[in-house]
Amino acid sequence: MRGRWLVLVWVTVWLVVGCQGSGVRPAVSSLPEACPTVPPLVVRHAKGFTISYHEGYKKVTVTMPWLGAAQPFVYILRLCDRPLPAAALADNPQVLAVPVRSWISLSSTHLAALTMLDADDHLIGVDALANIHDPQLKRRSLLEVGGSGSLNVERVLAAKPDVVSAFGVGSPQFDAHPQLLAAGVPVAIVSDYLEETPLGRAEWIKFFAAFLNREAQAEELFQGIETRYQSLRQRVRDRLKGTGSQRPTVLVNFAIRGQWFVPSGRSYVAALLADAGAEYFWAGRRERIGSIPLDWETVLRTAGTADFWLHGENHWQSLSDAIAQDERYQALRAVQLGQVYNNNRRVLDNGSNDYWERGVMEPDVILQDLVTIFHPQLLPGHRLVYYRRLGP
C-alpha cells in the first residue's frame, strides 16, 4: 500500500545514511548550434536543489539527495553545442542535453510534475504500472522496469531513456540509482520528501522543468499554487488571531508492527498542519528531518487526547478496520469522538493513492481539505478532495 510504503521509506531514511557519488554522463542527444533563450527560474521555498544559468548550459544541484549524503548530485544541462568550461565539470556532474525527450520515473510521486508540465508524452516507463493513479497514464503502453530492490536494468538500457528520475535513501540494498549510473544511464535524484514545507516540496516542479526547458510553464503553475496556499494560510492565521480560537490538536500516522513513526517538527507535514490551524504534538521536535520512532505508550501518553487523528493505513475504510488491526486504537480520543480522517478518498482498487501522486503538487488543495476538517466555518463550500472521514 502506498501510505505504508512511504512511512517505511521514512523508517529507512532514519535508520540508514550514506553517500553515492555521481559521475560524468556525456550527453547523447544532438544539440542546436544556437542556444535557445530560457527564462531563469528562481527557487523560493525548496531547500533541496538549486538552479543556476550560464552561457550555453544550466547547473542543477541536488544539495541533499538523502539524509546523511556526503556529497550533492550535480547536473550540467546543455542547451546548445558549445564547449563546456572546465569549471562546469569541476564537481564531477552528470551531463545531459536538454530538453530531454524520453523519461522513466521510478516513483509515482514524480508523475504529477510531468503531467502538469504537459510532458507526460515524454514518459516511456515507470517502476510499477499498478502504482499509477492518473487515468490517462494508465491507458498508456508504458514500460514497467521495477523499482527499489527489483530494478530491471537491462529493460531500462533497452529503452534508452534520456533520464531516469529516482529517489535515494543511502542504502545499497534499497537504492536503484547506483546500478543505473554504473550502466551509464543518467539519473535525476528527487529528494522532495525531505523538504520542510509543502510549498518547498511542490516547488520541485521547477526541478523537472529544468530538464524539459519548461521554466516559464513551471513558474506560472507554481505561482498559482503558492498564491492560493499563502492566501488560505493567512486567512487561517487571521481567524485564529481575531477570534482567539484554539487550535485543535492532531495525531498523524499509525503503528507499524507496534511502533509509530511520526513526522518531526522539521517535516512538510508538520508545517502543513500548522498552516491549517492545528496543534501538532511533536512540532517542537526539530532535531531531525524525517520521522521520530515512538512506542505505543509514548503516543498514548503524549497524543492520546488529540482531537483529530489523520493518515491511517491506505486500506482503512472505517474505524472498525483500524481497530481490527490493533485494538489499542480504541483508546485514542479521536476514535471515540469519531474524528478520524484518512487521506484515501482517491484510491483505486489496486491501492494507488492520488494523495501521493497529484497531491504532491497540490498542497493548496490539501490545505483546503485540512482547513475544512479543523475549521469548517472558514470554507463552508469546500468538499474534501483527498481526505474522507472514517465512519464506524
The pTM score is 0.91
Evaluate whether 12 touches 193 at the Cβ level (below 8 Å): no
Q: Which three cell numbers stand for residue 187?
A: 539519473
What gap in Å lies between CA 90 and CA 83, rounded to an integer? 14
Mean pLDDT over each residue of the chain, to the nearest integer: 92
pLDDT in tens, 93-109: 999 999 999 999 999 99
Calpha distance 150→300 (Å, rounded): 38
- For 279-302, what is the mean pLDDT? 95
By percentage, how much of the chain surpasses pLDDT 70? 93
pLDDT band at 16 (very low <50, low <70, confident <90, very high): very low
Structure confidence at residue 29 as a pLDDT band (50, 70, 90): low
Structural domains of the chain sorted by starting position, each given as residue range(s) with its CATH number in brackets: 2-214 (3.40.50.1980), 222-389 (3.40.50.1980)
Adjacent-strand bridge partners of 104? 125, 164
Q: Cα(28)–Cα(96) distance, rounded to whole angstroms? A: 7
- Tallying the residues shown for the chain, one arrives at 392
Encode pLDDT of 32-89 as tens digits.
Answer: 888 888 999 999 999 999 999 999 999 999 999 999 999 999 999 999 999 999 999 9
**Residue 96, H or E segment:** strand 94-97
